[in-house]
Amino acid sequence: MNMRALGAYLFTLRDQRKLVAAQIADHVGTSPTHIWRIEQGKIRAIGAELLHRLTAEVGGSAEDIHRLLLDRHATVADGQTLAEQRLGLTVHDNSTGPFNSATEQAIQRLVGRLTPQQRALWVQIGELLLEHQDRPGASDELPSSP
Protein backbone atom coordinates (compact mmCIF):
# COMPACT_ATOMS: atom_id res chain seq x y z
CA MET A 1 0.00 0.00 0.00
CA ASN A 2 1.40 3.37 -0.97
CA MET A 3 0.81 5.32 2.21
CA ARG A 4 3.47 8.00 1.59
CA ALA A 5 1.84 9.17 -1.66
CA LEU A 6 -1.59 9.03 -0.01
CA GLY A 7 -0.32 11.01 2.98
CA ALA A 8 1.23 13.67 0.74
CA TYR A 9 -2.09 13.99 -1.11
CA LEU A 10 -4.10 14.43 2.09
CA PHE A 11 -1.56 16.81 3.63
CA THR A 12 -1.38 18.98 0.52
CA LEU A 13 -5.17 19.31 0.39
CA ARG A 14 -5.38 20.14 4.10
CA ASP A 15 -2.46 22.56 3.99
CA GLN A 16 -3.61 24.42 0.86
CA ARG A 17 -7.09 24.80 2.32
CA LYS A 18 -5.60 26.09 5.59
CA LEU A 19 -7.33 23.38 7.62
CA VAL A 20 -6.03 22.57 11.10
CA ALA A 21 -5.15 18.94 11.84
CA ALA A 22 -6.79 19.07 15.28
CA GLN A 23 -10.12 20.17 13.79
CA ILE A 24 -9.93 17.53 11.07
CA ALA A 25 -9.11 14.88 13.67
CA ASP A 26 -12.10 15.94 15.77
CA HIS A 27 -14.44 15.81 12.76
CA VAL A 28 -13.32 12.36 11.62
CA GLY A 29 -13.03 10.82 15.09
CA THR A 30 -9.31 10.35 15.57
CA SER A 31 -6.36 12.16 17.13
CA PRO A 32 -4.20 14.91 15.60
CA THR A 33 -1.22 12.57 16.04
CA HIS A 34 -2.95 9.92 13.94
CA ILE A 35 -3.66 12.54 11.23
CA TRP A 36 0.02 13.52 11.27
CA ARG A 37 1.11 9.87 11.01
CA ILE A 38 -1.26 9.32 8.06
CA GLU A 39 -0.01 12.46 6.30
CA GLN A 40 3.62 11.45 6.83
CA GLY A 41 3.01 7.92 5.53
CA LYS A 42 4.03 6.48 8.89
CA ILE A 43 1.20 3.93 9.04
CA ARG A 44 0.92 0.70 7.07
CA ALA A 45 -2.86 0.66 6.66
CA ILE A 46 -5.90 2.83 7.24
CA GLY A 47 -9.49 1.72 7.65
CA ALA A 48 -11.82 2.40 4.72
CA GLU A 49 -14.29 4.39 6.82
CA LEU A 50 -11.62 6.67 8.31
CA LEU A 51 -10.04 7.14 4.89
CA HIS A 52 -13.42 8.03 3.39
CA ARG A 53 -14.19 10.58 6.15
CA LEU A 54 -10.69 12.09 6.04
CA THR A 55 -10.74 12.39 2.25
CA ALA A 56 -14.14 14.10 2.32
CA GLU A 57 -13.05 16.43 5.14
CA VAL A 58 -10.05 17.77 3.21
CA GLY A 59 -11.96 17.93 -0.09
CA GLY A 60 -10.28 15.01 -1.84
CA SER A 61 -11.84 12.37 -4.03
CA ALA A 62 -12.19 8.61 -3.80
CA GLU A 63 -10.94 8.42 -7.39
CA ASP A 64 -7.66 10.13 -6.48
CA ILE A 65 -7.23 7.90 -3.43
CA HIS A 66 -7.73 4.79 -5.56
CA ARG A 67 -5.15 5.96 -8.05
CA LEU A 68 -2.55 6.51 -5.37
CA LEU A 69 -3.27 3.32 -3.46
CA LEU A 70 -3.31 1.11 -6.54
CA ASP A 71 -0.11 2.51 -8.06
CA ARG A 72 2.71 0.92 -6.09
CA HIS A 73 5.16 3.28 -7.82
CA ALA A 74 3.35 6.52 -6.90
CA THR A 75 5.63 8.95 -5.07
CA VAL A 76 5.15 11.76 -2.57
CA ALA A 77 5.46 14.17 -5.51
CA ASP A 78 2.67 12.29 -7.31
CA GLY A 79 0.42 12.70 -4.26
CA GLN A 80 1.20 16.41 -4.07
CA THR A 81 0.63 16.90 -7.80
CA LEU A 82 -2.68 15.06 -7.72
CA ALA A 83 -3.83 17.23 -4.79
CA GLU A 84 -2.77 20.37 -6.63
CA GLN A 85 -4.71 19.21 -9.68
CA ARG A 86 -7.76 18.60 -7.45
CA LEU A 87 -7.39 22.16 -6.14
CA GLY A 88 -6.98 23.56 -9.64
CA LEU A 89 -3.43 24.76 -8.95
CA THR A 90 -1.91 22.76 -11.82
CA VAL A 91 -3.18 21.52 -15.14
CA HIS A 92 -3.22 17.77 -15.73
CA ASP A 93 -1.35 16.66 -18.82
CA ASN A 94 -2.38 13.14 -19.83
CA SER A 95 0.91 12.60 -21.64
CA THR A 96 2.96 12.79 -18.45
CA GLY A 97 2.62 11.80 -14.83
CA PRO A 98 2.33 8.59 -12.88
CA PHE A 99 -0.82 7.25 -14.50
CA ASN A 100 -1.33 5.74 -17.92
CA SER A 101 -4.12 7.75 -19.57
CA ALA A 102 -6.02 4.63 -20.72
CA THR A 103 -5.90 3.23 -17.19
CA GLU A 104 -6.89 6.59 -15.74
CA GLN A 105 -9.89 6.86 -18.08
CA ALA A 106 -11.01 3.35 -17.20
CA ILE A 107 -10.78 4.13 -13.49
CA GLN A 108 -12.73 7.37 -13.98
CA ARG A 109 -15.51 5.54 -15.84
CA LEU A 110 -15.70 2.83 -13.19
CA VAL A 111 -15.57 5.14 -10.16
CA GLY A 112 -18.18 7.43 -11.71
CA ARG A 113 -20.70 4.57 -11.66
CA LEU A 114 -20.14 3.53 -8.05
CA THR A 115 -22.28 4.47 -5.06
CA PRO A 116 -20.45 5.76 -1.95
CA GLN A 117 -20.83 2.31 -0.35
CA GLN A 118 -19.37 0.62 -3.42
CA ARG A 119 -16.47 3.09 -3.44
CA ALA A 120 -15.74 2.28 0.20
CA LEU A 121 -15.76 -1.42 -0.63
CA TRP A 122 -13.46 -0.79 -3.59
CA VAL A 123 -11.01 0.95 -1.27
CA GLN A 124 -11.08 -2.07 1.05
CA ILE A 125 -10.44 -4.44 -1.85
CA GLY A 126 -7.58 -2.28 -3.07
CA GLU A 127 -6.11 -2.22 0.44
CA LEU A 128 -6.24 -6.01 0.65
CA LEU A 129 -4.59 -6.39 -2.74
CA LEU A 130 -1.84 -3.95 -1.87
CA GLU A 131 -1.37 -5.50 1.56
CA HIS A 132 -0.85 -8.86 -0.16
CA GLN A 133 1.73 -7.33 -2.50
CA ASP A 134 3.64 -5.77 0.41
CA ARG A 135 4.12 -9.09 2.22
CA PRO A 136 7.60 -10.56 2.02
CA GLY A 137 7.60 -13.43 -0.43
CA ALA A 138 4.21 -12.50 -1.90
CA SER A 139 3.75 -13.50 -5.50
CA ASP A 140 1.91 -11.50 -8.14
CA GLU A 141 -0.92 -14.00 -7.94
CA LEU A 142 -3.72 -13.73 -5.43
CA PRO A 143 -4.23 -16.68 -3.13
CA SER A 144 -6.72 -19.17 -4.53
CA SER A 145 -10.04 -19.56 -2.80
CA PRO A 146 -10.77 -22.81 -0.97
Per-residue pLDDT tens digits for 46-62? 888 899 999 999 999 98
**Which CATH code, of 1.10.260.40, 3.40.630.30, 3.40.309.10, 1.10.600.10, is assigned to 3-134?**
1.10.260.40
Q: Residue 108: is its pLDDT beyond 90?
A: no
3-class secondary-structure state, position 19: coil
Burial 92-130 (b: 16+ CB within 10 A, else e): eeeeeebbeeeebeebeeebeeeeeeebbebbeebbeeb
Nearest one of 86, 29, 43, 32 to 63, comparing CA atoms: 86
Q: Residue 71: is its pLDDT beyond 50?
A: yes
- Stretch 127-142: mean pLDDT: 59
Q: What is the pLDDT of residue 70?
A: 84
Amino acid at 38: I
pTM, rounded to two decimals: 0.63
Q: What is the pLDDT of residue 58?
A: 93
Percentage of the chain beyond pLDDT 90 is: 37
How many Cβ atoms from other residues are within 10 Å of residue 40's Cβ? 14
